[in-house]
Chain A
Amino acid sequence: MRAPTSLLPLRLVDVSFDAGTKRIVDRVSLVLEAGPRTMILGPNGAGKSVLMRLCHGLLRPTAGHIEWATPERSGERRRQAMVFQRPVMLRRSALANVEYALKVAGVPWDEREPRARNALESVGLSDLANRGARVLSGGEQQRLALARAWALRPEVLFLDEPTASLDPGASAEVERTIETIHAAGTKIVMITHNLGQARRLGDEILFLNEGRLVERAPADRFFNRPASAETEAFLKGELPWT
């Protein structure tokens, strides 16, 4: 989806992030283009979550700069969305949670309910529309979070380990939903620990270690012909875990 004033490509130039004296993200430079589903991999503490939050605008870099093709202005509706590892829902019905996000985005009041219901249907939660969002199961809440993000028609969707706390059945449903969102034209950027998932869903892989961007390659090449020793070690270490 290349609108005339698209957000993408997103440029990171020498971006670093420090927490106190600890350097968490170390001089990362990259360009995110529209199209390929980008997976971010790396061991614990590699700085993946922080990097994603920097891109999404929740954190500001200590050094370097981050530029969208069309800069975001405060007060305008956001064209990127994020789904967190643990979904955070308001104490309202599932439907109301999606409507809330639409309201914040400035969607006119008479469009909110139909769009929200649509979003719920596409993730298979229509039956639970009036249930309190916080009493839903983990998998249902995560699907609700996806519905909420998708109802906003974002250009970019960031996901931080969306299936980490879900059982395989719920995971599969969430993966299906992500595929659907991608098919509709949204750029997917996702952190995952699950190599199998990365292989299934990813078109390209960003590999982070100790805050540095170590390798970037199309998924095929990354898994079969890793370019660096670090990557090899990582893949070997994680291999039993699919």
Chain B
Amino acid sequence: MGVILDALRNAFGLIVTLDPDMLAIVWLSLQVSLSAVALGTLLGLPLGAAIAVGRFPGRRASIVVLNALMGLPPVVVGLIVYLLLSRAGPLGELGLLFTPTAMVIAQTILIMPIIAALGRQAVEDAWREYREQLRSLGVSRLAAALTLIWDIRFSLLTAVLAGLGRACAEVGAVMIVGGNIAGVTRVMTTTIALETSKGDLPLALSLGIVLVTIVLILNAGAYSVKEVAQRRYG
């Protein structure tokens, strides 16, 4: 208990003194994870919606696969992306290995299935309600998918937040494709891993508390946006 209380106090100190190294690490973490969430949403929501309203052979199998991909192990994703981006690999020309861009790519691959699978479920529930009316109006399946996404956008926020949580929390993928380079690709989770392996457990714990606090704030913000919108539009 004492260790945790100490860590809480240290975490507070880190935040209050705005340690520049830590700020840089936090800023990079946010950039990487939020970019991955934006990309993952842009790609994942339409995919989930398309599966929700679509009718094609193998639809049920694709739902099962999509749900299963939610459990992709981050290290495996990191390894695959590493092999792709390595100079010896097919995409080596791009010179993306050990850059924040590579981290964004890996995290996007990781969270896209989460957003797509949860989005699919939400859109499918809405489709059941809207289906007859939209078809009556002559809305094509594609247009219906996009309309539904926009209409239930605040419910889809939960899917997006699930993706955000996963991105902020993972360390396996960003460690491998980023290389945890000081000042370049070091983010909160890899820093925590580093400090832990150096035996500096109090510092690691403090950083962990900072990370959780940031994620809490992001979630609280998203929740209040959702509340306001629901009151307005019903």
Contacts and interface: CB of A to CB of B under 8 A. Distances in A.
Nearest to B147: A90
A77 interface: yes
A164 B36 CA distance: 49
Contacts of B139: 104
Contacts of A28: none
A196 B51 CA distance: 46
Contact of B133 (A53, A77, A88, A92): A88
Given A58-B132, A84-B132, A104 B233 contact: no
Interface in A47-93: 53, 56, 58, 75, 77-78, 81-82, 84, 88, 90-92
Interface in B126-152: 129-130, 132-133, 135-140, 143, 147, 151-152
B199 interface: no
B234 interface: yes
Q: Which of B130, B138, B152 has the most CB of A within 10 A?
A: B138
B151 A90 contact: yes
A104 B137 contact: yes
A145 to B, nearest CB: 9
B232 interface: yes
A101 B133 CA distance: 10
A136 to B, nearest CB: 9
Contact of A58 (B129, B136, B151, B234): B136
A132 interface: yes
Contact of A91 (B132, B135, B140, B233): B233
A84 to B, nearest CB: 7
A78 B143 CA distance: 15
B137 A101 contact: yes
Contacts of B137: 78, 81, 101, 104-105
B138 A78 contact: yes
Contact of B132 (A75, A88, A135): A88
A153 interface: no
Given A90-B151, A104-B138, A104-B139, A134 B132 contact: no
Contacts of A56: 136
A84 B132 CA distance: 9
Q: Interface range on chain B: under 10, 10 to 19, 20 to 34, or 35 or more? A: 10 to 19
A158 B233 CA distance: 28
Contact of A105 (B135, B138, B151): B138
Interface residues of A, number: 21
A78 to B, nearest CB: 4
B234 A132 contact: yes
A53 B129 CA distance: 16
Q: Which of B132, B140, B151 has the most CB of A within 10 A?
A: B132
A87 to B, nearest CB: 8
Given A77-B138, A104-B138, A104-B143, A91 B234 contact: yes
Contacts of A101: 137
Contacts of A75: 140
Nearest to B135: A58
Nearest to B234: A134
Contacts of A88: 129-130, 132-133
B29 to A, nearest CB: 34
A104 B232 CA distance: 24
B133 A84 contact: yes
Nearest to B232: A132
Nearest to A80: B136
Nearest to A87: B133
Interface string A98-116: 0011001100000000000
Contacts of B140: 75
B136 A81 contact: yes
Interface in B90-135: 129-130, 132-133, 135
Interface of A: 53, 56, 58, 75, 77-78, 81-82, 84, 88, 90-92, 100-101, 104-105, 132-135
5 nearest A-B pairs in the assembled complex, by CB-CB distance: A134-B234, A88-B133, A78-B138, A91-B233, A135-B234
Interface of B: 129-130, 132-133, 135-140, 143, 147, 151-152, 232-234
Given A75-B140, A81-B137, A104-B143, 20 more contacts: A53-B132, A58-B135, A77-B138, A78-B137, A81-B136, A84-B136, A88-B130, A88-B132, A90-B147, A90-B151, A91-B233, A91-B234, A92-B151, A104-B138, A104-B139, A132-B232, A132-B234, A134-B233, A134-B234, A135-B234
